[in-house]
């Protein structure tokens, strides 16, 4: 068993970007469940079904659509959008038990959220918002990288940005990031962790200098808001030193960037890293868009490579190795605690207790 954090079942997870779900079948595995997605012709809604044919388990995502029905690519078992099998070859009677599971899906803020656990508990109102992703006045670049690492390692990575200084040095990291202490606030009940790092007078990383055109030193704020288990928001503001928001809260000379991640556990030891960078400045400057797309991809790949390496390394070690945590890990440790609780809440009742 690779290094792995248990999955919280009764939770919403981002399975895809809205733009990825269309008339081509899309296969994704979320907390161990193989899923197939498509967009129904009938009403444009995203559909999520179990991705294994009941006949011989051929992946439906490698099959084809006939209208809003999936026709298994192996022997033709045909499923409607509820997962009911409506046709089998060579006989009139379709076995009553022939159906694949269908899953609640909600599209919101350009994200496709899916619920794998008990459907009776799936409440769309509990899905955290990220309005900037398709809000007016914002431009977003995005991508998704599958990582062969436990999702807990990606949570650790994102909740402790001191690594920017080392892993992303020369891009978004400067010495001050690691040097500046953080404040951490944990809302245990809501499962939200807030971690802030405010640098009042700091070097401007070349990445930000090039994208914003700021010359000289900056104030730089990183305010993380992690909605366990899946959604991670990083509110970033940079501005020339001394420039403060107007009393009414407007901030014409500050640069606000919303960095969003969806951390979606796939199988054990595998995670989907959905990354998005939204800005409300220079929105019609295509060069800035392309710069941010390319450079963020580079930075994300630095994390991907590091986590692939870390997972492989942990996999070769005896279990029960010790870690040593310090102040920068406060947020990550709180996340582990909250994830542990969410896992317990979604645990299947033991056999016989049902």
Residues that bind ligand FES (CB under 6 A): 53, 55-56, 58, 72, 74-77
Cβ-based nearer residue to Fe ion, 301 or 347: 301
**C-alpha gyration radius of the chain:** 22
Torsion of CA 39, 42, 47, 51, to 10 degrees: -90
Cβ-based nearer residue to ligand FES, 50 or 256: 50
Number of residues that bind Fe ion (CB under 5 A): 1
Residue 56 Cβ vs ligand FES, minimum distance, rounded to whole Å? 4
What, of ligand FES, Fe ion, none, does residue 303 touch, CB below 5 to 8 Å by kind? Fe ion
Cβ-based nearer residue to Fe ion, 273 or 303: 303
The span from the first CA to the last CA of the chain, in angstroms, equals 28
Nearest by Cα to 49 from 89, 105, 87, 97:
105
CA–CA gap between residue 164 and residue 157 (Å, rounded) = 10
Residue 82 Cβ vs ligand FES, minimum distance, rounded to whole Å? 18
What, of ligand FES, Fe ion, none, does residue 55 touch, CB below 5 to 8 Å by kind? ligand FES
Cβ-based nearer residue to ligand FES, 65 or 209: 65
Using CB under 5 A, pick the residue from 303, 304, 307, 342 that binds Fe ion.
303
For position 329 contacting Fe ion by CB under 5 A, the verdict is no
Do residues 254 and 208 lie in contact, with contact meaning Cβ atoms separated by under 8 Å? no
How big is the CA angle at 206 (ends 200 and 208), to the nearest 5 degrees?
Answer: 60
What, of ligand FES, Fe ion, none, does residue 56 touch, CB below 5 to 8 Å by kind? ligand FES
CA–CA gap between residue 336 and residue 323 (Å, rounded) = 14
Position of minimal CB gap to Fe ion:
303
Question: How many CB atoms within 10 Å of residue 308?
Answer: 14
């Amino acid at each position: 068993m690779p290094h792995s954090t248990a999955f919280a079942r009764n939770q919403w997870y981002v399975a895809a970007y809205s733009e990825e779900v269309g008339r081509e079948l899309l296969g994704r595995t979320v907390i161990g469940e193989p899923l197939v997605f498509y967009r129904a012709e009938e009403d444009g809604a995203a559909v999520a079904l179990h991705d294994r044919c009941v006949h011989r388990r051929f992946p439906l995502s490698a099959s084809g659509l006939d209208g809003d029905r999936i026709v298994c690519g192996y022997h033709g078992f045909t499923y409607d959008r509820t997962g009911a099998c409506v046709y089998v070859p060579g006989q009139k009677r379709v076995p009553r038990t022939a159906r694949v599971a269908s899953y609640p899906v909600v599209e919101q803020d350009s994200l496709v959220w899916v619920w794998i656990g008990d459907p009776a508990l799936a409440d769309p109102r509990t899905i955290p918002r990220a309005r900037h992703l398709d809000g007016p006045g914002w431009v977003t670049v995005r991508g998704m990288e599958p990582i062969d690492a436990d999702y807990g390692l990606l949570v650790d990575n994102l909740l402790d940005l001191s690594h920017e200084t080392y892993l992303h040095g020369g891009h978004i990291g400067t010495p001050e990031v690691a040097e500046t202490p953080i404040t951490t606030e944990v809302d245990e009940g809501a499962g939200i962790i807030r971690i802030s790092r405010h640098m009042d007078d700091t070097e401007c990383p070349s990445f930000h200098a090039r994208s914003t055109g700021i010359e000289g030193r900056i104030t730089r704020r990183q305010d993380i808001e992690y909605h366990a288990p899946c959604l991670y928001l990083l509110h970033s503001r940079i501005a020339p030193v001394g420039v403060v928001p107007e009393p009414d809260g407007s901030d014409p000379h500050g640069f606000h960037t919303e960095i969003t991640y969806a951390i979606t556990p796939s199988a054990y030891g595998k995670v989907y890293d959905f990354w998005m960078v939204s800005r409300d400045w220079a929105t019609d400057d295509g060069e800035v868009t392309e710069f941010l797309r390319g450079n963020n991809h580079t930075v994300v790949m630095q994390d991907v490579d590091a986590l692939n390496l870390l997972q492989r390394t942990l996999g070769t070690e005896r279990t029960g190795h010790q870690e040593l945590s310090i102040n920068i890990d406060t947020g990550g440790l709180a996340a582990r605690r909250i994830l542990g609780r969410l896992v317990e809440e979604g645990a299947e009742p033991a056999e016989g207790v049902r």
